[in-house]
Amino acid sequence: MQFLLRFPRYTVNCVTAGDAMGDPINVLRGLRDESRARDEELRTRFKQLESHLTEASAGLEISGRSDNCSLERYGDDEAIYGYLFFDDTGLHVAYRSTEDDLVDSSDDSSDLTFGIQSSDKCKAVWLRALAAPRLLQSLINNITEAVRASVEADNEAVRALAATVNLPTRSLETAFIDAAQKLSFGVVLQDWKDAQSALGVDAADAATRACRLLETLCKHILQKRDQAMPTDQTIQKLFKSAVRSLKLSPDQQSSEDLRVVASGMFAAVQGIGALRTHAGTAHGSAADRHDITFSEARLAVNSAGVLATFMMESLLAGD
């Protein structure tokens, strides 16, 4: 298409820019549209990256960042630089300018303050710089190391808690066995196991075995202490001789409280012996025999176990 521009005294023939420059302008328009499309695709890819990171780290309070890079130059010596970082709020870009560096250096400031922008709102030119494979890999590596450190910290905490929870408990069974084994009192340990086995099977037999346990232990202690056996080897006489050798008799205590406790030990032994005599299997049964219950038998066995453990630990402490 041609048209005439008429000015006084001369005429000029012109060609429209759309015809003469048609191809280059259309190319420019095409490049513009492609750039916009690529920029949108770039933002979409970053949103996908954010979504994948959020899903992969769900439930973990971790964060990570990429290496630094130059985001944009806006002068001969001025530039904006920064890095990608990820936390529980999403994927962001931290940025700072070389001009900020100059101001901070003049103020002797050692704290570098970065601006924060969400990845979907920052400039496309920044995203292009941050999309470099080495930067994306550094972000993933940094997050992975943070997760590894978190897992190891959790493992360490679990190990510490497990060690605390699994500390040996001072249960009667554990304490009894430990003391008997240290003293090599195998017969005493067997008597204890026999008394425990009788519980729930034969209450009267369990009460008898509780008394036997204490008699066996007292004899072992007297032998260990090189003390003579009493002529009367009833449970009361054996116990009295054994506790005296251990300095556990009431008259050997330094306070009234301990004397009361020691007297209670004698009372318990007397009761265990009485149960064996009147309700156990060691003697014949009288017409008015008391049939011991399993709860009463358990009380006798456990009381004998507590007394035996205390006496063995006292013997260990004195040796």
User: The domain that contains 265 carries what CATH number?
Assistant: 1.20.120
Counting residues of the chain whose pLDDT is more than 70, the rounded percentage is 84
Interval 245-297: pLDDT, tens: 999 999 999 899 999 999 999 999 988 888 877 665 554 454 455 678 888 88
Give the structural domain span for 71: 2-164
Q: Both 147 and 181 in a single domain?
A: no
Interval 93-131: pLDDT, tens: 999 988 888 887 777 666 778 889 888 888 888 988 999
Q: Both 117 and 206 in a single domain?
A: no
Q: Both 12 and 132 in a single domain?
A: yes
Average pLDDT over the chain reads 82
Q: Both 134 and 220 in a single domain?
A: no
> Exposure of 5 by Cβ count < 10 A (0-12 exposed, 13-18 middle, 19+ buried)?
exposed
Give the contacts of 242 (CB within 8 A, at least 6 positions apart): 217, 218, 221, 222, 311
Token pair, residue 217, equals 């232990």
3-state secondary structure at position 13: strand
Q: Both 152 and 202 in a single domain?
A: no
Q: Both 158 and 192 in a single domain?
A: no
Q: How many domains does the chain have?
A: 2
Domain boundary among 115, 134, 164: 164
Domain boundary among 115, 147, 164: 164
Domain boundary among 164, 189, 213: 164
Q: Both 107 and 197 in a single domain?
A: no
Query: Which of 6, 91, 106 has its CA nearest to residue 54?
Result: 91
Q: Both 282 and 208 in a single domain?
A: yes
Interval 19-78: pLDDT, tens: 444 588 888 888 888 888 888 888 889 899 989 888 887 777 788 999 999 999 887 788
69-73/79-87 β-pairing: antiparallel
Q: Both 14 and 154 in a single domain?
A: yes
Q: Both 155 and 11 in a single domain?
A: yes
Q: Both 148 and 212 in a single domain?
A: no
3-state secondary structure at position 109: coil
Any bridge partners for residue 10, and if so which? 7
Q: Please give the pLDDT value at position 182.
A: 94
Q: Both 193 and 81 in a single domain?
A: no
Q: Please give the pLDDT value at position 120.
A: 80
**Sequence-distant contacts of 37-42: CB under 8 A, at least 24 apart:** 39/124, 39/127, 42/124, 42/127, 42/128, 42/131
